[in-house]
Chain A
Amino acid sequence: MPCSRHLIGKPGQTFQFRITDAQNVFAGVGRLRITGPTTGHSQDFPFAELQAGFDLQLEAAMSYTLRIIVQPQDPAETLEITAQTSAGVDTCSRNDAGEIAVWTIDVL
């Protein structure tokens, strides 16, 4: 099942994301969307970069939405990825194009 998770962080705190085990993926792109009252911009990362892992440092008065979007190689096969954040491990799977995981982080 796709993952959907809410997290809460403090300003200045760093969240680490490590994404592994992207088997049978046909093509994928991870999309890191940063939103908030002060800025509103988004940034895309190629899937390969996401797999290498990245750190997200939280800024005050911002909300973060991290979406991982994929297209599996073969619709008959289920794509499974494991994402390890500093808040825990999530295993997410999907067998058609779309979101495989959404993490939302609120800075309080």
Chain B
Amino acid sequence: MSTKSLISGCLLSWAVILGARSAWAQPEPTPQADAKCPGGKIGSLTSEKVAEGAAKQTLETATTKAIAQKPTTAAAPPAFADRVNATIADFLPLFQFAVNEVASNADKTSVTAKFNPIPVGIYGNLSLNATATQPQVFKALEEKIVEPAREAQRKTLLGKVDDFSDLTLALSYGLQRRAGTWDNTRKMFGRNYELYRNLASGLLEQALQGAFADIDQRTDRISRARSKLFTEFKTVFEEAAVRDGLAQPDDPEKLGPQGARLDSICLATVESVNPEAYKQLVDVLRKEALLSADVTAAVQKAITDNKLDALPAMIDNQPQIVLQGSYRASDDVIGPDTAAITASYEMGTRNFNSMLREYHQMKREGIKEPSYLDAYERGVTDRAYQYEDKVIFSASFRRNQSYNFSYNYKESVSSPGSTTPVEIDRTAALNLPRSDDWRASLSWTRLWPRRTEKPETLLAAGLPQLPAMTGRQDPRSTFTIEWVDADESIKLAGTNTPLENDRFVARLSLVVPVQGGMTLPLTIVYSDKPEFLGDQDRVFGAHVGISYKIGDKGAAAGK
């Protein structure tokens, strides 16, 4: 369809416009040459090195466990998303400057390219997405094909289209504004952490105030020891820098400008120049490395004690207003082109705004400088955030363009008088005028968190984190009511029955994830017009099933 080339042209222009905005150079990290120093360098003795032995063991155990849990399956055929990704991979580098992300949906039936957002002043961004969906034959057209030939013709029709025959371009805007300070911010919209950075930093800063009492004293002691060491043995380190080839003997600054070469000196060289300096240096470095691990443990404890680990959920529950306009350009085999406008509002019951409300309430109560942490504590006390309750309202208008398509095919039938099948010429024709429909839906979801494991010990907290291997996920319930005001002027051929009708549908579902990517869904559906529910065939029905997804990355990561 010509609209497809129009969309491709638009995407190209958008990409070129955005390219200029996002190009910026990344400084290259300083390369490290460890091969020359088998015993390590001054700069290489970090908390990770101290914890390396234990970490290695943990990693080995976790890896063994993961391999044992991995199901052995035959290789799956390449999914639609993989195929599309492979196709666009060659071209992607050309548009890397404009394309922010290319992602597939969970069942790999669509691929979405997200373009770099365009800022709209202080009130958020305009974002453009292009989605290629796996082609499916238009159901109304399929029904025009006689039943015995339907399956074969469906395959033939799908053979006529390519992976980019069902494209949707969506332009969306979400209202948001960057937070100021706790005192001048009252209500926020949007879920981008950047908006809340100032407020969250204030919270963390207060949380860490008390966490460093002991750390500060130890830092003092180590700093003094280090200063003494470098003053006393400066010539030793300079001699070591020369022996390691980092400086010339006549170099006035043998340790480099601002001592930048110091970390590159091999520990073994220091030992060979002056064993006593080496002994004291290793002692200081070990103490620093251990202190570093303890700082990490203290930070994690402060975060847990102040329940700051709930902050992501609080921001995720923030209200969000989104307006979206989309256009779906598809091949005739797939269906009519469609334009839609959707407005949605969603929010969680406990969110960052509830903390801001508490903060301002405390000021009204006469507290002169309320603590952010106290306001936060009040906001999360009822633990309702744990359920991640979310209410989503959306209203949309959709216009389906007129559709006229005719398709000639042959049906093979067996004849009693012949041993070979007889082929009969047939035509599937479908003509639909332009139609409009309105939809509104209200849904409520709740996550039912399972009891979490005991918090990690401080020793384990200091080690590098490993991905969770069990893939634990929480059950989620969803209640949705949907109302559709369909265009009833379009009748099924030869009848007075409308193709679509106004309807009301209510669904209550509970999805219980089971170990290893399996889910147990339970759904109850009610509709006032069951004949338009598609697969449902009763006014009131229930559905229980087990679904198993192979290669569920999300489950493996334990998110």
- Supposing A27-B311, A33-B219 touch, asked if A89 and B260 sit within 8 A by C-beta, the answer is no
* Nearest CB of A to B103, in Å: 14
Q: Interface majority SS on A: helix, strand, loop or mixed?
A: strand
Taken together as a complex, chains A and B put the C-alpha atoms of A55 and B337 apart, in Å, by 59
Number of A-B contacts (CB under 8 A): 158
Q: Check if A86 sits within 8 Å of B300, measured CB to CB.
A: no
Residues of A within 8 A of B27 (CB): 82, 84, 89, 91
* Nearest CB of A to B270, in Å: 13
Binary per-residue interface labels of chain A (20-62) against chain B in the complex, 1 for a CB within 8 Å, 0 otherwise = 0100011111010101110010101011100000000000000
Task: Give the number of residues in A that approach B within 8 Å (Cβ atoms).
Answer: 54
Which of B138-146, B203-211, B426-434, B441-449 lies at the interface with chain A? B203-211
* Nearest CB of A to B295, in Å: 5
Question: Quick one: which of A15, A29, A75, A98 contacts B296, CB cutoff 8 A?
Answer: A98
Binary per-residue interface labels of chain B (216-230) against chain A in the complex, 1 for a CB within 8 Å, 0 otherwise = 100110011011001
Binary per-residue interface labels of chain B (448-479) against chain A in the complex, 1 for a CB within 8 Å, 0 otherwise = 00000000000001001101000000000000
Which of B3-11, B70-78, B193-201 lies at the interface with chain A? B193-201
Question: Quick one: which of A4, A44, A48, A75 contacts B288, CB cutoff 8 A?
Answer: A4
Taken together as a complex, chains A and B put the C-alpha atoms of A26 and B255 apart, in Å, by 37
User: Within B215-246, which residues are at the interface with A (CB < 8 Å)?
Assistant: 216, 219-220, 223-224, 226-227, 230-231, 234
Question: Quick one: which of A9, A35, A74, A106 contacts B220, CB cutoff 8 A?
Answer: A35
Residues of A within 8 A of B234 (CB): 108
Residues of B within 8 A of A6 (CB): 42-43, 226, 259, 262-263
Q: Check if A28 sits within 8 Å of B208, measured CB to CB.
A: no
- Supposing A28-B201, A31-B208, A104-B223 touch, asked if A90 and B259 sit within 8 A by C-beta, the answer is no
Q: Is B48 an interface residue (CB 8 A)?
A: yes
- Supposing A99-B292, A102-B292 touch, asked if A29 and B26 sit within 8 A by C-beta, the answer is no
- Supposing A5-B263, A48-B198 touch, asked if A87 and B258 sit within 8 A by C-beta, the answer is yes
Q: Check if A7 sits within 8 Å of B208, measured CB to CB.
A: no
Q: Check if B204 sits within 8 Å of A42, measured CB to CB.
A: no
- Supposing A31-B208, A98-B296 touch, asked if A91 and B43 sit within 8 A by C-beta, the answer is no
Question: Quick one: which of A88, A99, A104 contacts B226, CB cutoff 8 A?
Answer: A104
Residues of A within 8 A of B308 (CB): 27, 71
Residues of A within 8 A of B255 (CB): 8
Q: Check if B43 sits within 8 Å of A4, measured CB to CB.
A: yes
Residues of B within 8 A of A76 (CB): 467, 557, 559
- Supposing A7-B259, A69-B208 touch, asked if A89 and B200 sit within 8 A by C-beta, the answer is no
Q: Check if A46 sits within 8 Å of B201, measured CB to CB.
A: yes
Residues of A within 8 A of B224 (CB): 35, 37, 63
Taken together as a complex, chains A and B put the C-alpha atoms of A97 and B308 apart, in Å, by 11
Question: Quick one: which of A21, A29, A89, A96 contacts B30, CB cutoff 8 A?
Answer: A89
Question: Quick one: which of A4, A8, A26, A37 contacts B258, CB cutoff 8 A?
Answer: A8
Taken together as a complex, chains A and B put the C-alpha atoms of A28 and B204 apart, in Å, by 7
* Nearest CB of A to B30, in Å: 6
- Supposing A13-B258, A69-B295 touch, asked if A90 and B219 sit within 8 A by C-beta, the answer is no
Q: Is B438 an interface residue (CB 8 A)?
A: no
Residues of A within 8 A of B299 (CB): 69, 71, 97-99
Residues of B within 8 A of A28 (CB): 201, 204
Residues of A within 8 A of B204 (CB): 27-29, 71
Interface centre among A69, A91, A95 (most CB of B within 10 A): A69
* Nearest CB of A to B227, in Å: 5
Taken together as a complex, chains A and B put the C-alpha atoms of A85 and B227 apart, in Å, by 21
- Supposing A2-B48, A69-B208, A102-B292 touch, asked if A9 and B259 sit within 8 A by C-beta, the answer is yes
* Nearest CB of B to A35, in Å: 4
Q: Check if A97 sits within 8 Å of B303, measured CB to CB.
A: yes
Q: Is B29 an interface residue (CB 8 A)?
A: yes
- Supposing A46-B205, A67-B295 touch, asked if A89 and B220 sit within 8 A by C-beta, the answer is no
Taken together as a complex, chains A and B put the C-alpha atoms of A33 and B219 apart, in Å, by 9
Extra contacts, 17 of them, besides A8-B255, A99-B296, A106-B227 (Cβ < 8 A), are A5-B43, A9-B258, A27-B308, A29-B204, A33-B219, A36-B227, A37-B224, A42-B216, A46-B201, A48-B198, A73-B193, A74-B559, A76-B559, A84-B27, A96-B296, A98-B295, A102-B292
Sample (27) of A-B pairs whose CB atoms are under 8 Å apart = A1-B46, A2-B48, A4-B46, A4-B292, A6-B226, A6-B263, A7-B259, A8-B259, A26-B311, A27-B193, A27-B203, A28-B201, A29-B205, A33-B219, A35-B223, A36-B223, A44-B208, A63-B224, A71-B303, A82-B27, A88-B30, A89-B28, A96-B296, A102-B288, A104-B288, A106-B227, A108-B234
Q: Top 3 closest A-B pairs, CB basis?
A: A8-B259, A98-B296, A63-B223
